[in-house]
Each structure stands twice: as C-alpha cells, then as structure tokens.
Amino acid sequence: MREPARGNTGFWNSLRQGGVPSAIASIMGAPTAQHMAFIRSMMREQRRPEVLHTPLNELDAVVFDLETTGFSPQHGDEIISFGAVRIHGGVVLEGEQFYTVVQSKTAVPEHITELTGITQEMTLDAPTLLEGLHDFMSFVGGNVLIAHASAHDRAFLNAALWRTSKVRLTHRLIDTMMLARWLEPSRPGYGLDELLESRGIPIYGRHHALEDSKMTAQLWSCYLEDMTRKNVETLGDLYTQLSHA
C-alpha cells in the first residue's frame, strides 16, 4: 500500500508525531481523535532491543487472530473481527482475552458467514474499525504478538492502521507456522488444523478469532517446549534460528 504523497505541512508533521491538529479533532469528534492519537502512540518505540534478551519462558505476549471478508486488503477486503489472549511464557493467562466484531464497508460474503458465523447484520451493529483497533491495541499494549500464518494478519492490520490512523504495525511478531517449518521441516503441511491434530490439541470453534487464538496459544506452548530442548532460550535466539531456517 503506497503512502500518500505529502508535503512538510503542520498536519502531516502532527500525524507523524502522534497528534491530531485541534481543528481536525473538532471535525472528527474528540473520541475519534483520541483513538487515532492513541494508536499512533502505540506504534512508536515497539522494537526495543532489550526485549530480545527476554527468556521465552518469561515472555509476555499476545496471541491473536483476525477474521476478514476475504484474502486481499489491497482489493477492498476488510477485518470483521479481532480475537486475542495474553500469555506469559507458555501459560495462557486466565480471563485475559479480547474479542470484538467490527463494522465493515465491504459486504460479508455468504461463504465467510458460513465459515465464521459472522453475518452482515452483526457488523452493522458493531463498533467501528477505528474503535475496534483502539481497543485491540489497548489490549496488546507493548507486548510481542504471536499469530499463525501471520502474513495475512499483518497485511490486514497494516491496511486498517494506515486507513484509520496513517501508521503501520511496529510490534514484533512471531509466526507459529514459521516455527513449525523450522521445528518439523519434513511435515507435508502446516495448516493450523493439521498442526493442532499433530499435538493432540482439541479443535473447536475454528474460524472464530478468539477460539483460534486460544488454540494457537496452546500450539505455541508445545513449540516452547521443543525450543527449550534445542537450547533456544531467548527471543533473540529464536529470531536467529528463524532467520537461518
């Protein structure tokens, strides 16, 4: 997605610094302006080098999943739900979970409704995308993100963040599919269902963003044990291994 051309104006300088000019804020309404400013502030300083020294069994992270109207944010597909759980090391924190459906300007296709259970009517009554992003990023905080087949989720998050707030995702992101490819290079496939079955993790509520997040968190816990046996102890160790995988 190409960043819009802009001059060295006060408006764009304010956007880059995480603020919103008062005149624009008055047009948007204070809550909207505050949501945008918060999201921009969240995107600053997320790649602190000291987190690379964090032991994986002490890592605070958020495992998340998105449901979308299709596979191409560049061609108008949009996020329709966010789901996430907080973990510490390999332990899912009890009660620390997030879920919301959000509005979509793109109609929800029938096959997506059949897959996810989310109807067009549900999105009409849901929070706006900006409100959903604000609440999701508030839940995430400064934590590392974990997702399965994360390229899809990153692309949609970046599209939504740029559309609503003119920023891009800066959080560190671990992909459990990449982990599986490194840990089990001879597998015939790396779909979530196949990997869950291989680890004896019960499959339920597939294609519901929160339930998929919970199952991916269990998969991460299994991989954490595997990484420990391979003497991969810190986030930096993990990135080094994945960069050579």
Residue 204 CB-density burial (10 A; 0-12 exposed, 13-18 middle, 19+ buried): exposed
CB contact set of 160 (below 8 Å; sequence gap of 6+): 73, 78, 79, 129, 133
Q: Count the Cβ atoms, other than its own, within 10 Å of residue 142.
A: 13
**84 contacts 98 by C-beta, under 8 angstroms:** yes
Q: What's at 34, amino acid-wise?
A: Q
Query: Among 53, 152, 207, 208, which one carries the catalytic annotation?
Result: 207
Q: Output the furthest CA–CA distance in the chain (Å, rounded).
A: 58
Q: For the chain, list the strands marked E by DSSP.
A: 60-68, 79-88, 91-101, 144-147, 173-175
Helix or strand or coil: residue 94? strand
129-140 vs 150-165: helix crossing angle, rounded to 10? 120
Q: To which residue do tokens 């959000």 refer? A: 102
Catalytic status, residue 244: no
Q: What's at 179, amino acid-wise?
A: L
Rounded CA-CA distance 195/73 in Å is 27
Which two structure tokens, joined as six digits, stand for 216?
């991916």
**Residues recognised as catalytic:** 207
